[in-house]
Structure formats: C-alpha cells, structure tokens
Amino acid sequence: MQFLLLLFFFIVGLAQAAPQASIQSLTFQGKTERGDVVAANQIMMPFVTMTNQKVAAKINDYLFNGQFGVLAPRQPGKVFSAADGVAIDGMASQEFSVSRNDGRILTIAFENEGCGAYCENYQTYYSFDIKTGRMLDADDVFTASGMRALERRMVKERQSQYRELLISLRSELKAIQKAHDAKSQDTVNDLKERIELNSNCSGEGTHTDRTPGASEAAPMFKYYKSEFSEDAFKLTAERCSNHAMRALDDVGAVTLTIPYAELKPYLTGYGTALLLNQGSTTAKSSVYGQFLRGRMDGKIAITMLLYKEAGDAVRGIYFYDKYRKPISVAGRENGNQLELTEAAADGTEGTEKAKMQLTVTGDHLQGRWIGKTEFQVELAP
C-alpha cells in the first residue's frame, strides 16, 4: 500500500512538472527583400501550442513581433513566409532553443546573424509567464533597489574582467619593450591599442563604482539581456567595444549567472512568486509591454502593443486584425490620459495623421480614434 502511495505521488509530481507548452519549429520559405532565395532551415521560428489557445496566441505574437515586427500566423504548417507579412532583410540566419519550459516560465533564446555593412552574431531572449502569456519585464520582476544592486554587480564584474586583462597586457608590453626587439613593433602597437581600449572599458581613471540613481537604474538595467533559464537567472552586458574595435576586445560580452535563491532580495512580490514559487502575487496591471486586443467602432478587431519610454513618452504599434500590417504610433501619457499619433502611411511630412485619445484604467484602454471620422476604441489584455 505504501509503495502504491509513493508511486501515486511520484506520478502526480511528474504531471505537475510537465511542460505546459509544446514548441513546433517553423522554417521561412521564400526570398529576402533583395530577391535571394532563403535556404530551408536558414531562418527558424518557434510556434507555441497550448491548451489555453489565447495564451499561446499572445506568446506567438510577442515572438513574431519581436523578431519580425508582425503578428504570428494563426494556423501555420511547417513554414512561414512573406504571405504572413514577414520580410527577411539583413538577417542571414536564425536559430532558437528553449532554455526553460517548466509550467511556470517559458524562455526562448534566439541566435541570429545579422548582415548590413558587416555581419555579426547576436542573441535575443524572451521569457513568459506561462499562465498568462505575459512577457516578463524587469519592472514586473525586480524592485528599483534590486535593479540598482544588480547594476552594481554588473559594473564591478565588467571592471574586474577588464582590469585583470589590463594587468596581463601591460606585463606583456613591458617584457617586449625591455627586449628591444625591432621586429616586435607590430606587436607593441597592437598591445598599446588593446591597453587603451581595456583602460577605457574598465573605467580606469574615473569613479564608476557609484550607485546608479533611481531615475537611471531601470534604463541602465534594461540595456542588459535577461535570460530566465531553467537553473539560474543570467544577466548579460554586451561588449564595451564598437564593431570597428571588437577585434581588440578580448573580454567581450559579460554574463552574470545568479542562482534564483540569491535573487530573493532583489525581487518584487510577483517576482518572488514566479521565480521562487513563494506566495501568489500577480503582476501589476499595466497597458504597457503586453498585447492588448479589442475593437474599434464595436466591430473592427484591432491589436495594440505599447511601450513606455523616458519621461512620459510612449511608442508602439497596432494592427487591424483583418489586414495584419503594423501601424506605428507615438505620443505621451499625462496622468491617466494617453494621446497617440499615427505615423503617416507614406512617410510624407505634413500629411494629416489620425490620433487616438485614450483613458488608462489599470490594464484597459478606452477612448476615441480620430481621423476623417471618429470611432470608439476599447482594448484590454
């Protein structure tokens, strides 16, 4: 009997730990905007399926919008294409992996190669609350003081790595100069350039250990890349050097790997519940950073995504669901009032542009679209 009970609890535990999301791989089929044929499996995208189709649709829209600026195809086969609004411009390749899928958080990591004047690899991470489909934002998960503390840890880690390398480079330069070898001048010049770059990146000669102010902590923190992986939180700062100088930057990107238990002092109530499974606090209500769906004139389906920027500035996009083409908007928030102006469709200056005058109530928007006529607008997650 005891064995049967143990077996029962073991099976229940497995069921609770089983991933809630299934991930299908889609490959882009078609050509780039320059007319070059994209090879099979060259540009890959995940497509999430779940029992809760509304949550799955929200996650897929985040992923496709983040990578291509479009809404996700609703019922894809094994491919996606220009017919889904996707334009391949400057992206040489794209792969993805799932670094967490445990029934609480889904994390997708992209590895891209982008090419413009030059080609370069880069990574992008998306993490979602699997119950709601909400994309995790630093403001939701970390307190302001927590972001400042993590910012300090990153600054110190970068300084430490660059300063450690400086010691080695200066020692090497001193040894070569002491040998008075005329043939080593190219090596000397290279070392001097590396020393200069590493000195600048280490903050040598300036006081960079100060605590970031409350007003700058969040903007600084959000320049970093956050990955909520299965075992730990990973915070990555991109390399200090620009592209032209990257060959001299031996430190490159710096990643802090922090076990989740160590994050507790930095977390909001929601972050504690989500990452440590302690408590049941939900994320604060907000219209920013999440897809809002609703109707214009009571019948025209629309989807909107807004982001809060510095001060009271707001930017974003919205789609008419029937046509699925992004329309850029920008504006300002004044208390609970939000006014957004559409970008001119043809980019022509002086063209009269439609506006939205909206009232913010928690995570809901309600107001008017004002163009050649007026329509009522209502949006919610």
pLDDT band for position 17 (cuts 50, 70, 90): very low
Least confident of 178-187, 283-292, 343-352: 343-352
Please report, as a single letter, which amino acid is at residue 281. T
Distance CA 177, CA 195 (A): 14
| 56 to 129, 133, 226, 292, 295: CA distances (angstroms) | 11, 7, 22, 14, 21
| 193 to 172, 181, 188: CA distances (angstroms) | 13, 19, 9
Return all residues near 131 (Cβ < 8 A) that are at least 6 apart. 55, 104
- Per-residue model confidence as pLDDT tens digits over 194-227: 999 888 888 775 544 454 454 444 557 778 999 9
For residue 341, pLDDT beyond 90: yes
pTM of structure: 0.84
| 134 to 97, 128, 175, 365: CA distances (angstroms) | 19, 5, 56, 17
Q: Which domains does the chain have, with CATH numbers?
A: 2-135 (3.30.565), 141-276 (no CATH), 291-380 (2.40.128.120)
State in Å, rounded, how far the first CA of the chain is from the last one.
Answer: 48
Average pLDDT value for residue range 117-126: 89
Look at strands 105-115 and 91-101 and give their pairing: antiparallel
Return all residues near 150 (Cβ < 8 A) that are at least 6 apart. 142, 221, 235, 256, 258, 266
Distance CA 29, CA 24 (A): 16
Which tokens sit at 1? 């009997």
Return all residues near 263 (Cβ < 8 A) that are at least 6 apart. 146, 233, 271, 275, 276
Distance CA 238, CA 253 (A): 4
**Average of per-residue pLDDT values in the chain:** 87
- Per-residue model confidence as pLDDT tens digits over 218-269: 557 778 999 999 999 999 999 888 877 888 888 989 999 999 999 999 999 9
Check if the beta carbon of residue 316 is closer than 8 Å to that of residue 331: no
Q: Alpha-carbon Rg of the chain, whole angstroms?
A: 25
